[in-house]
Amino acid sequence: MTAGRLVAVVGPSGVGKDTVIAGLCAARPDLFRVRRAITREAAAVGEDFEALSRAEFAAAEAAGAYALSWRAHGLAYGIPAGVHGVLGAGQDAVANLSRGVLDRARSVFPGMAVLALTAGPAVLAARLAARGRESAGDVAGRLARAGAYEVAGDDVIRVSNDGPVEATVARVLAALYPDSAWRLSS
């Protein structure tokens, strides 16, 4: 049996990573969606995640609960260790990762594909403002960091998410599964 691959979705804040992931999972029910652990308030809007306090996260991390963990934007993030079982069973999985953790993720998940989403500055600003999680200063900081990381490697698939999410999902599926008949619906 061939091992599944992790599809690491990366991009600047507001690019629509979680929206695209939801679209991918809706189009491919066999694609396993990785639910991250985050030290964020459970009431935060956006992605489905496991909310943990800093102490709870540290204890889980020390106990080996995460295949991959990192810190970004003042929060701690973890990819559950159980994803190795999913991949080992031959199922592909998709996860929202931070660009700064990609090199480490590549060593943890051999054969990983990196989906690097992009969007123009005006689109990012509008999406960040609409989600209402950050102050105006935080939004400005996230926009300033949008181009801070160059995502490079033979495993990188670059897709613009400036338009309809359905078009983005169709382009991503065509790139990830070129032998399948994924087409844009008209």
Can you give the CATH number for the domain in which 11 is found?
3.40.50.300
Phi-psi region of 25 (alpha: psi -120 to 50; beta: other; left: phi over 0): alpha
DSSP-based three-state secondary structure for 36: coil
Label residue 186 by pLDDT band (50, 70, 90): very low
In a domain, 140, yes or no: yes
In a domain, 181, yes or no: no
Q: Find the domain containing 132 and state its range.
A: 6-34+90-176
In a domain, 1, yes or no: no
Tally of structural domains, the chain: 1
pLDDT at residue 46 in the model = 61
In a domain, 94, yes or no: yes
pTM: 0.85
Task: Go through 136-158 and write b for each residue having 16 or more CB atoms within 10 A of its CB, e for each that does not.
Answer: eeebeebbeebeeeebeeebebe
In a domain, 69, yes or no: no
Label residue 130 by pLDDT band (50, 70, 90): confident
% helix, strand, coil for the chain, step of 5: 35, 20, 40
Average pLDDT score over residue span 134-155: 70
In a domain, 30, yes or no: yes
Of 129 and 8, the one with more pLDDT? 8
Q: Mark out the alpha helices in 109-164 (DSSP H runs).
A: 121-131, 136-145
Q: For 93-129, how does the pLDDT look when each residue is reduced to its tens digit (9 = 90+)?
A: 999 999 889 999 999 999 999 999 988 877 777 777 7
In a domain, 64, yes or no: no
Give the residue carrying structure tokens 């490079």: 152
